[in-house]
Amino acid sequence: MILRLLVFGLMCVIRAELKAEFRMRVSEIKMKNIFTSMLLVVGLVSSFGASAADIEAGKNASAECAGCHGANGNSTIGSFPKLAGQGAKYLVKQMNDVKSGARPIVEMTGILDGLSAQDFNNIAAFYQSQTMSGGQAKKDLVEKGESLYRAGNPATNVAACAACHLPTGAGVELAVFPALAGQHADYIAKQLKNFRSGERANDGDSRVMRSVAARLSDKEIEALASYISGLH
């Protein structure tokens, strides 16, 4: 809880700076300085007490996952997310949320029930060790998508995606902000709409994703999802 509050506080500062200074484009040099500070703070309060993960055991345990997410975590179906290269902490959180019911996913009903915390650590480590395949953005949506991703929309108080997920889309592992670059556009769009409607609500008490998605139009979501898919 302390970690999430610290991150949320830092995000408020970041959003204020972005709104004041980066109307058209986020300065990547500035962002590097911001995230260096953020990671230092998060690193001080992060827990590293989890048992060491076994990548090979994770590969074996993920066999059932391959049907939807691909053998190496690169799904070929747009509605199923690519897991390859995703941060382990984020993957563990999502698996725990699915298992507990905090993130209902019909297709995963019961799949995780028999798995332990160590299984989750192993599976997450395996997927993190893989490389996410790239996607391709629609040319007519690149300009709008890039502007939203890097600078947000000050007119509607939409924060830049780059503020949490980095200009490269690599995410922030310690803060449990997921990697986005190369993810399926269909999946990204669906999750943004789910956050917007409240169907997905596992973004914590800070409601960061629900707050951002609530201010996005369908056209903006389409442009963002397309740009993110081609960001690699």
pLDDT given for residue 25 in this prediction: 45
The tokens for 150 are 């890097």
Domain tally, the chain:
2
* Domain termination site, one of 66, 95, 128: 128
| Mean pLDDT per 10-residue section of the chain, whose length is 232 residues | 52 50 42 46 43 93 96 97 98 98 96 97 98 96 98 98 98 97 98 98 97 98 98 90
pLDDT given for residue 28 in this prediction: 44
Say if residue 99 is in the same domain as residue 172.
Answer: no
* Domain termination site, one of 103, 128, 153: 128
Say if residue 143 is in the same domain as residue 221.
Answer: yes
Say if residue 152 is in the same domain as residue 215.
Answer: yes
Local structure of residue 158 (DSSP, 8 states) = B
* Domain termination site, one of 72, 102, 128: 128
* 36, 58, 93, 137, 144 from 225: Cα distances, Å: 27, 29, 23, 8, 11
Say if residue 75 is in the same domain as residue 160.
Answer: no
Which class for 112: exposed (0-12), middle (13-18), buried (19 or more C-beta within 10 A)?
buried
- CA terminus-to-terminus distance, the chain: 32
Say if residue 196 is in the same domain as residue 225.
Answer: yes
pLDDT given for residue 70 in this prediction: 97
In sequence order, the β-bridge partners of residue 104 are none
Say if residue 43 is in the same domain as residue 139.
Answer: yes
Distance CA(158)–CA(172), nearest Å, equals 20
Say if residue 139 is in the same domain as residue 41.
Answer: yes
Say if residue 40 is in the same domain as residue 66.
Answer: no
* 3, 67, 133, 177, 228 from 171: Cα distances, Å: 16, 26, 16, 5, 12
CATH code for the domain of 81: 1.10.760.10
For residue 160, which amino acid is it?
A: A
Say if residue 37 is in the same domain as residue 59.
Answer: no
Say if residue 117 is in the same domain as residue 153.
Answer: no
Say if residue 37 is in the same domain as residue 139.
Answer: yes
pLDDT given for residue 67 in this prediction: 95
Local structure of residue 177 (DSSP, 8 states) = B
Q: Are 189 and 227 in contact (CB under 8 A)?
A: no
pLDDT given for residue 29 in this prediction: 39
Residues in the chain: 232
Which class for 206: exposed (0-12), middle (13-18), buried (19 or more C-beta within 10 A)?
middle
Say if residue 75 is in the same domain as residue 104.
Answer: yes
Spatial CA neighbour of 157 closest among 225, 228, 213: 213
pTM: 0.80
pLDDT given for residue 12 in this prediction: 54
- Structural domain of residue 146, as residue ranges? 2-47+135-229
pLDDT given for residue 232 in this prediction: 83
